[in-house]
Structure 1
Amino acid sequence: MPTVTGAEADTKSGPAAAAAGRKYIGIDAGTSMVKAAVFDARGRALATESRPVALSLQGGRAEQDMDEVFGAVTEVLAALAAGVPGPFELIGLTGQGDGVWLVDAEGRPVRSAISWMDGRANELVDAWQSSGVVESVFRRTGSAMFPGCPGPVLAWLDRHEPAALDAAEAAVYCKDMVFQRLTGIRATDVSDASMPFLDPRSRTYDDGVVEELGLGHRRGLLRGISDPIAVGELGPDTPLAGTRISGGPYDLAACALGAGVTAEGDGLLIIGTCLAALVSVRAVDLDGEPAGLHISTDRPGHWLRAMPAMVGTAALDWVLRTTGTPLAEVDGLLAATPPGSHGVRVLPYFASSGERAPFVEPRLRAELTGVSLETTPADLVRATCEGIGFAARHCLDAAGLTGSLAICGGGTRSGAWTRLFADVLGRPLRITEGEVGARGAVLAAAERYGVELDTAAWTEPTAVVEPDPARAEFYTKAYADHRERLAAARERARAS
């Protein structure tokens, strides 16, 4: 049964019941979990459902079963439909971005999906960096390629698995596969298409980039862009058949909407498997070090300067597994060790595909220094959390944060880590709890359908965490040390 919140109890009878009759569903097909929530007209979550989905990690490769992902979507929809009385006004859909999801004409898998976490194209990206292709593409599109984005993955498949590309009707993204199988409509949107083939100014594919990556003969695999986002109705064989649904944006842009990050200069930090930093901008900046991307949104003239780092909660999970520490003990361990972690330092770049933002370094790996026989699990945990905080600051600096900062994601469940982030970043954090991506997907769908919602109420922060001035000053100096150690590590990675 769905998890039902107290908000539903407030809307059982009288005038409030009529208002609560307008219900909205948001679906977020994430990397490790498919989540869905029912919201009332003021954005209060009435019920939530989730299903885990497996990610196969082996030898630097990361793949997912598309049928499992789609099955999880239909399961959460069916559970919500059974547990919450309708009717439902509309459904907003979002999902993980990047990677390659090869499908046939019916939206069914040709092979397993290749995740954004995949590293099989590392050497290809290395070669493109050396030859200047990565920089050339960035100067045209504002997006810096990394091993798990569609350009390198498609080029790798073209060289090593051409039969899979021959059999595919399209190379799509997660939400596009789900949307097609729910509605029969074949489309993607400008947010997912932003990496790496989209010209963010014209909002169309740059065929010169396709040719530069050696994929001109595969141009037909790029799904047509629906601008604005595609809409349709759930098919007859799906739960809630006939309900209106929209197909996008993808999860980073949806989270920005769900957290109310639309004003120029405001930012969002998502502490999830991937540490994503987003800043709302009104211009495309093609200067500087090629890194991150410019996500086009459903509003022409508005972009999200995105630095979606590979580092994130997965780094802390590795340290917890290695030290045999339960997740529930993190807050206590952070309290047990002072800022600076007794000299232990962690460069938290544990991903097998290196780092993609705010720089691209496929061969970069994690480093732990200052460890001795006196080092405790608390030191390692705090040093890792501090290292992730420094990576977040680096991303936000590179993205150009000048306004307020919202924060969401699984990492915010730790109050102590959230306070550490405030101290490391040296600024107040607007905490946005709950299914932020699903919330943003509903807001995008409502705008597309012309349904008026009180966006201020939907995106109101649940709390604001202020930094401690003394700790913030300490971490400003520690961040400078982090950048020096990172620069040296990047030199070693390039020489390896």
Structure 2
Amino acid sequence: MIYLIGIDIGTTNIKVLLLEAKSGKTVAIENKTYEIEIPEKGYAEYNPEKWYEDCCECLKRILKNTKVNPKDIKAIGLSGQMHGLISLDEAGKPVYPAILHCDTRSERQIIVIKEKIDDSIIREELNNSLYTGFLLPSLCWVYDERPQLYERIRYVMLPKDYINYRLTGNICTDYSDASATLAFDIKSGCWSKNVLNRLNISEGLFPEIKNSYDVVGTITERSAAETGLDMGTAVICGGGDAVMQSLGNGLIDSKYAIINIGTSGQVLFSSSKLIENPELNTNIFCGYQKDNWISMGAIMSAGACYKWVTNLISESDYKAFDEKIAQVPIGSNGLIFLPHLNGERTPYLDPTLRGALIGISLESGKKEIGRAVMEGVSFALMLCYEVCLGLGLDTETFIISGGGSKSTMWTQMFSDIFNKPVKVSEMTEQAAVGAAMCAGVGVGVYSDIQDAVDHIVNISEKTYYPSSIAHEEYMKYYELFKNAYISNKNILREIYNQWYYDARKNREIML
């Protein structure tokens, strides 16, 4: 048999998936969870060497438990959390911990970048808004705040690229991750000289760019000993997790669009042409190859909101809690939830925005609050969909994926709110699957991405259809949801700013 491996470097866990190539079936999955490091408020870091150690552990476990001969593994593909900065010195050692996508320390650098780079360059080359946690502003923070460390940097890359480097000794990235750095000219498909020159950053720090199915190199003697893989096994570039997850759900054309409910949430569309957005309130990234694009509206907290509230109210049986929530009518008995627990991207582009639960009364119980959270996340993603509609992006049917797709009630809610049929992805660990698909294409197991999709991706036959009555009822509360943001955005921002000021003052006193 021929096997493929997909590795996904997530925000809080690593997943390694073993796939049998001919049948397209997942044979085994191993994972390792970890906590991101928050040395100060607004920071989000991790030691990239620990990622590699965890990756090695998962690979060894999967080989031991399945007893698959490493020689039968044809290729390995990578997926990883996007945007984060990995900086290495000349010897290939980390200069500073990885600064992750959810890090917000670079607010001041964002202001400076806006002063130095014309709006026209941002719109025409980057095609994305400036936001904390992306590689470029994080690199600027190191430049400003840790100049001695910055002088040691020889290479910058993204999380999955570091694992590729450790496995093969070769440094590169792919178009999807490159386009999510804010240092990349999306139209021209290369690093932006206009941006880097204006910030006095050397283009030489940035790696070669490949398609997601291109070969990076092969497993070295050292990495073979560390992982249990066979020396000489091909390692394929892979891509950013949003793009790999889209592949794992079969999103390669306009037949479907995706609603993803992971820790964060996205509404994603694939296109063969660049969809420009002058407002820059969506993200537009390259797809699995040059001249392929993914447009998406993204919210920072989706499943994270549901996990937060269920932990808070001690509801661990999600299926039973769904049944309780289903007893509550649309509108959550007068509760509106703003799901901005960690800032927001589409459409507000505000890392300081925070959430709110509005309309609480003595009648508000656990199930009302639970439903309000579900509705608030759904409304926030409806806002994303509306922005995409304004760009000319639409679909006949949505595929829902991520942890939220396990809830039949939530899936029906999305169908009713979006007023579209919704199917559920039957794939598990779609980002790792997408990486394995690229691995298969890279070594010729599959002729192209479409062939990989045909072999591997399964979407449920069942379709959730919208109710016109429910849609009309939801739209009443959707308008209230939008007005709740308008009425409260300033006070929410002031609360954050005051708290942030007090937190810094208290920390300085303690020091």
Displacement after TM superposition at 1:297 (Å): 2.4
Mark the CA change 1:333 to 1:162 in structure 2 (over 3 Å): closer, same or farther. Answer: farther
Displacement after TM superposition at 1:383 (Å): 0.6
Are 1:209 and 2:195 an aligned pair?
yes
Distance in 1 (CA, whole Å) between partners of 2:51 and 2:110 is: 28
Are 1:370 and 2:359 an aligned pair?
yes
CA RMSD of aligned residues (A): 2.3
**Equivalent residues of 1:191, 1:295 under 8 A apart:** yes
Are 1:65 and 2:47 an aligned pair?
yes
For residues 391-439 of structure 1, give each alpha carbon's deviation from its aligned partner in whole angstroms, at most 9, with x where no partner exists: 1112223234412322211222233222222222222222123111111
Partner of 1:80: 62
Displacement after TM superposition at 1:458 (Å): 1.2
The counterpart of 1:256, out of the listed 246, 257, 261, is 246
Q: How does 1:405-416 map to 2 (within 5 A)?
A: 405-416=398-409
Partner of 1:178: 163
User: TM-score, normalised to structure 2's length?
Assistant: 0.86
The counterpart of 1:336, out of the listed 327, 331, 337, is 327
User: TM-score, normalised to structure 1's length?
Assistant: 0.89
Partner of 1:441: 435
Mark the CA change 1:335 to 1:154 in structure 2 (over 3 Å): closer, same or farther. Answer: same
- 1:206 counterpart letter in structure 2: S
**Equivalent residues of 1:330, 1:414 under 8 A apart:** no
Q: How does 1:387-466 map to 2 (within 5 A)?
A: 387-400=376-389, 401-403=393-395, 404-432=397-425, 433-452=427-446, 453-466=451-464
**Equivalent residues of 1:106, 1:180 under 8 A apart:** no
Distance in 2 (CA, whole Å) between partners of 1:376 and 1:133 is: 50
Are 1:121 and 2:106 an aligned pair?
yes
Distance in 2 (CA, whole Å) between partners of 1:25 and 1:374 is: 51
For residues 21-70 of structure 1, give each alpha carbon's deviation from its aligned partner in whole angstroms, at most 9, with x where no partner exists: 12211111111111121112222111111111221234121111212211
Displacement after TM superposition at 1:168 (Å): 2.1
Distance in 2 (CA, whole Å) between partners of 1:417 and 1:334 is: 10
Classify the secondary structure of the residue corresponding to 2:27. Answer: strand
Deviates more, 1:182-191 or 1:486-495: 486-495
Identity over the aligned pairs, expressed in percent?
A: 26
- 2:193 counterpart letter in structure 1: D
Displacement after TM superposition at 1:287 (Å): 3.4
The counterpart of 1:112, out of the listed 97, 112, 135, is 97
Partner of 1:477: 476
Classify the secondary structure of the residue corresponding to 2:473. Answer: helix
Mark the CA change 1:492 to 1:284 in structure 2 (over 3 Å): closer, same or farther. Answer: farther
Alignment gaps of 5+ in structure 1: 1-20
Classify the secondary structure of the residue corresponding to 1:263. Answer: coil
Distance in 1 (CA, whole Å) between partners of 2:194 and 2:168 is: 32
Distance in 1 (CA, whole Å) between partners of 2:302 and 2:111 is: 23
**Equivalent residues of 1:48, 1:80 under 8 A apart:** yes
Deviates more, 1:252-261 or 1:241-250: 241-250
**Equivalent residues of 1:63, 1:113 under 8 A apart:** yes
The alignment covers a number of residue pairs equal to 472
Distance in 2 (CA, whole Å) between partners of 1:194 and 1:341 is: 40
Partner of 1:37: 17
Are 1:384 and 2:382 an aligned pair?
no
Partner of 1:53: 34
**Equivalent residues of 1:320, 1:327 under 8 A apart:** no
For residues 111-158 of structure 1, give each alpha carbon's deviation from its aligned partner in whole angstroms, at most 9, with x where no partner exists: 211110011113443565689866751332211121111122111221
Classify the secondary structure of the residue corresponding to 1:217. Answer: coil
Q: How does 1:305-324 map to 2 (within 5 A)?
A: 305-324=295-314
Distance in 2 (CA, whole Å) between partners of 1:198 and 1:190 is: 9
Distance in 1 (CA, whole Å) between partners of 2:32 and 2:350 is: 33
- 1:271 counterpart letter in structure 2: I
Distance in 1 (CA, whole Å) between partners of 2:313 and 2:121 is: 43
**Equivalent residues of 2:3, 2:73 under 8 A apart:** yes
Partner of 1:144: 129
Distance in 2 (CA, whole Å) between partners of 1:105 and 1:269 is: 41
Distance in 2 (CA, whole Å) between partners of 1:338 and 1:236 is: 61
Classify the secondary structure of the residue corresponding to 1:447. Answer: helix
Deviates more, 1:183-192 or 1:126-135: 126-135
Classify the secondary structure of the residue corresponding to 1:46. Answer: strand
Classify the secondary structure of the residue corresponding to 1:392. Answer: helix
Classify the secondary structure of the residue corresponding to 2:350. Answer: coil
Partner of 1:16: none
For residues 168-219 of structure 1, give each alpha carbon's deviation from its aligned partner in whole angstroms, at most 9, with x where no partner exists: 222211100010001101111111010212112211011112234x2x2343
**Equivalent residues of 2:388, 2:394 under 8 A apart:** no
Distance in 2 (CA, whole Å) between partners of 1:188 and 1:131 is: 26
Displacement after TM superposition at 1:277 (Å): 2.1
Partner of 1:190: 175
Distance in 1 (CA, whole Å) between partners of 2:86 and 2:308 is: 27
For residues 83-105 of structure 1, give each alpha carbon's deviation from its aligned partner in whole angstroms, at most 9, with x where no partner exists: 22231122111111112112234
Distance in 2 (CA, whole Å) between partners of 1:131 and 1:309 is: 28
Deviates more, 1:396-405 or 1:127-136: 127-136
The counterpart of 1:167, out of the listed 149, 152, 157, is 152
Deviates more, 1:381-390 or 1:135-144: 135-144
Distance in 2 (CA, whole Å) between partners of 1:327 and 1:423 is: 25
Classify the secondary structure of the residue corresponding to 2:475. Answer: helix
For residues 227-265 of structure 1, give each alpha carbon's deviation from its aligned partner in whole angstroms, at most 9, with x where no partner exists: 464432112233213221212111111111111111136
Distance in 2 (CA, whole Å) between partners of 1:112 and 1:30 is: 16
Alignment gaps of 5+ in structure 2: 498-511
Distance in 2 (CA, whole Å) between partners of 1:26 and 1:479 is: 39
Mark the CA change 1:310 to 1:454 in structure 2 (over 3 Å): closer, same or farther. Answer: closer
Mark the CA change 1:430 to 1:415 in structure 2 (over 3 Å): closer, same or farther. Answer: same
